[in-house]
Structure 1
Amino acid sequence: MTKKQWAGWGPDEQPEQHYLITPRALAGGGDIRHVSEYLRASGWRERSKKDGPLALTSPDRTVRISYDPYIQPGGWAIHGAASGHQAAWWATLGRQTPVEIVAGLTDALTGPPSAHAPNVWAPFTEQHWRLQPEGRHYTATSIEGSAWMHFRQDATGNALWWSGAGDPHGSGWSAQFAPTTPMYLVRAFAAALASPEPVMRPRGRVPHHAKIHTTSVSVLPSQLSAWQQARITAARAATWARTWNAGRPRTAARPHAPTGGNRTRR
């Protein structure tokens, strides 16, 4: 069999038209491999059935992530088991949630939890979102009004978080978090949601929305591959560093020895 030079490969590759989209919350779902390949590179285990929805579990088997676009409403489901002082928790994100925003949450699951109570509202303040306190409730809304983050407290004081993007006349998405969801994960999601960085989508995958701003760019397939590989490489490096540090023997502190003279015995 003779080898064929496929169009778009090697020195004869042709640039492909893509679009940089802002605000990112309105960019549509995107390629779920942006999430799944990072998790796999971080040591997460494949639990997907053949021709079935995506399913992955964390190395310690305490967190399960699935993506199913074939059910209603469909999308991402994340479940964390109870562990130590952490109660069981969950988060759901609609299938049109941009993968870059989903990754803000899922990438954070691959590292150590925050050692302090994070400020969920800091990313919104930094990006000049409108913050509206309403008693015990709070809402952050993007400048153009297309994305939001809500905080409510029920009668028992449980924190209720949910987020979303869209408008009354267009398709959008929503995300919800259990009251027990670790705050560092909600903070990671908030940072990805509030980020002003555009996200890229190929031609034909740009949603129709009046508030979207697009910039056309020409990208080589090899460039796309290199960017994807850089993200995977970063995940592997971080995983290796954590594993190596966890396996290092701790050196016990050596007792202080006198610099000279005899010690007086009492």
Structure 2
Amino acid sequence: MSPLDLGDLDPTTEVLVAPVHLAGPGTREAVFSVLDNAAGWTKTVAFGTDTYYASPCQRVRIANPVESHFGGWTITYAEDPLGVPDWITTFDRSTPQEIVAAFTETLVDGLPNHFRDHFSGGKHYTGLGPEDVLRRSDWQPVHGSRPYWNVSPDGRAALRTRSGWLDEYTELLTPEKSMWRLSGGIDPVHVPSWRAFFSSGTPQHLRTAAAIALTSPDALPRFLGDVPERHRDLVRVRLTKPTADMPRAQAALARRPYAAHVPAPGAEAAIPPASLAAHGRSRRQR
């Protein structure tokens, strides 16, 4: 589709968008559905919008404080329900909700037996870490970078692995200093559109679930107006169904697998960074 075609469509038009990391946050209903249907979990709604969940064992707390500066989802686990959390994972308000839902569903399913099914010998054990998942999708390491980065083929998503020792309480208090950060956007290293942080204690199989969702080839359902404007030239868009008043060319387009949203004639095409390592030498990496 050309920009003019997209501009002619109502923002409430239902579309399918790929890749995941540029599709926009989408609705939170998938995450709410996982937690609302989790047996024994309690739910509290405060201030009319902020939502909090606690697992039956009281070890896991999940918060969706809509009105806070960070927004998004904060998930903590504490072996001692009354003690300091052992790990924390945060997804900001712009993270694609399919990534949050995959992490949360895996957490909920594995919690009753303390994730034993996901450890060596368990029925869900694969031995794969998130880096393995990313490599299978042709992500590449940025050699010589500190912290250590893996970048998606299009240069629009990145995994940062922090180097050096950091006190675990610093991770708990400052998500930005967590061991791992997933991010996406036009410049996912320096100016990401969304970020997800995983402290060093976050179980590998949960981080792997997030990576699998991030690298899924499936297009995501969105309303056209929910796709970030700055991503429009970088995503592939397919209409979910033709409408009665849709021009014939657009109706034919809706039947194609995907339609690349290409820049208008004369517009400068967005080009992925040729080398994030070189780019990082001139700007401080976060």
Give TM-score, length-normalised by structure 1.
Answer: 0.68
For residue 138 of structure 1, report the CA deviation from its aligned partner: 3.6
Q: Which residue of 1 aligns with 2:34?
A: 38
Q: Which residue of 1 aligns with 2:119?
A: 115
Q: 2:91 aligns with which of 75, 93, 97?
A: 93
For residue 155 of structure 1, report the CA deviation from its aligned partner: 3.3
Structure number with greater Rg is 1
User: Is 1:78 matched with 2:75?
Assistant: yes
Structure 1: unaligned runs, 5 residues or longer: 1-15, 221-266
Q: 1:214 aligns with which of 216, 237, 242?
A: 237
User: Is 1:163 matched with 2:160?
Assistant: no
3-state secondary structure, aligned to 1:192: helix
Q: 2:194 aligns with which of 160, 173, 176?
A: 173
Determine what percentage of the aligned residue pairs are the same residue.
Answer: 28
Q: Which residue of 2 aligns with 1:199?
A: 220
3-state secondary structure, aligned to 1:90: strand
1:87–1:180 CA contact under 8 A, matched in 2: no
Q: Which residue of 2 aligns with 1:260?
A: none
- What amino acid does structure 2 have at the position aligned with 1:213? R
- Summarize deviations over 1:10-56 as a string: whole Å, max 9, x none: xxxxxx84111111111111111110111211222212225131211
1:154–1:160 CA contact under 8 A, matched in 2: no
Structure 2: unaligned runs, 5 residues or longer: 1-11, 121-126, 169-177, 244-286
Structural mapping, 1:1-266, within 5 Å: 17-43=13-39, 44-49=41-46, 51-83=48-80, 88-112=86-110, 113=115, 114-116=118-120, 118-134=128-144, 138-155=148-165, 160-168=179-187, 172-208=193-229, 209=231, 210-218=233-241
1:18–1:219 CA contact under 8 A, matched in 2: no
Question: How far apart, CA to CA, are the structure 2 residues paired with 1:103 and 1:32?
Answer: 9
Question: Which deviates more, 115-124 or 74-83?
Answer: 115-124
1:19–1:206 CA contact under 8 A, matched in 2: no
Question: How far apart, CA to CA, are the structure 2 residues paired with 1:184 and 1:205?
Answer: 30
Question: How far apart, CA to CA, are the structure 1 residues paired with 2:68 and 2:130?
Answer: 31
Question: How far apart, CA to CA, are the structure 2 residues paired with 1:99 and 1:135?
Answer: 29
Question: How far apart, CA to CA, are the structure 2 residues paired with 1:111 and 1:219?
Answer: 38
Question: Which deviates more, 161-170 or 16-25?
Answer: 161-170
3-state secondary structure, aligned to 1:153: coil
- Summarize deviations over 1:75-100 as a string: whole Å, max 9, x none: 1111111259x961101111000110
2:63–2:75 CA contact under 8 A, matched in 1: yes
Question: Which deviates more, 164-173 or 50-59?
Answer: 164-173
Q: Which residue of 2 aligns with 1:259?
A: none
3-state secondary structure, aligned to 2:109: coil
Question: How far apart, CA to CA, are the structure 2 residues paired with 1:170 and 1:87?
Answer: 29
- What amino acid does structure 2 have at the position aligned with 1:146? R
- What amino acid does structure 2 have at the position aligned with 1:153? S
- Summarize deviations over 1:201-240 as a string: whole Å, max 9, x none: 02322221121111111299xxxxxxxxxxxxxxxxxxxx
- What amino acid does structure 1 have at the position aligned with 2:139? W
3-state secondary structure, aligned to 1:100: helix
Question: How far apart, CA to CA, are the structure 2 residues paired with 1:205 and 1:171?
Answer: 17
- What amino acid does structure 1 have at the position aligned with 2:88? W
Question: Which deviates more, 107-116 or 129-138?
Answer: 129-138
2:63–2:74 CA contact under 8 A, matched in 1: yes
2:76–2:85 CA contact under 8 A, matched in 1: no
3-state secondary structure, aligned to 1:54: strand
Give TM-score, length-normalised by structure 2.
Answer: 0.64
